[in-house]
Amino acid sequence: MPSARTPSPTVALSTAVALAAAAGCGGAGPGAQPAPGPVGAVVAPSAGAGNPPGDSHRATLAAVSRVAKRYYAALDHLRVRMDPAPVAALIAPDCPCRAQVRAIEAAIRRGERYTDRVRVRTLLPHLDQADRADVVVSVDVRRGGLLDAAGRRIGAATTTYGVHRELMLRRIGRRWLIERVVAV
């Protein structure tokens, strides 16, 4: 008969949204280059002669909002398929938030899977500079946690409504990537 085990520190932060905030996110260094061709990256609009400044600003806010939506959709999808690639594709390569991707990979190696059901309630994008933006997001997380390889719950399922996070984004080339996730 399997014995109950104490979850590792990574497992203790079992919900994907909690993991995102606790992944040790910080600023990214100068001159960072993204991994080639990530799936799901959002290309920034070009500010060309055909794009008036107001349209370009709105298009940029829409682009960073899409990154936030894709990020939380990727976290939600972990309950269906444990694949770190969609999450990794949206995070800057030098961001400490990569710890989140490593935690997903470690859970996969242990045969575990997330059960989180993540729903975005609100998004408030803000363009800080031409290459920096942030999105304040409110999400609901239902039935958060992990299942072991046998399908048994590790710890108690958690439900949290109105979790607030600020996603700090940086434009690298023509793509917007998350460089930090902050609990607010």
Report how far residue 120's alpha carbon sits from residue 70's, in angstroms, rounded to the nearest whole number: 10
pTM, to two decimals: 0.76
Domain 9-26+42-183 has CATH 3.40.50.12780: no
Digit-coded pLDDT (tens) for 156-169: 999 999 999 999 99
Report how far residue 131's alpha carbon sits from residue 176's, in angstroms, rounded to the nearest whole number: 8
Digit-coded pLDDT (tens) for 31-60: 333 333 333 444 444 444 444 456 799 999
Report how far residue 87's alpha carbon sits from residue 104's, in angstroms, rounded to the nearest whole number: 9
The torsion angles phi and psi of 153, rounded to 5 degrees, stand at: -70, 135
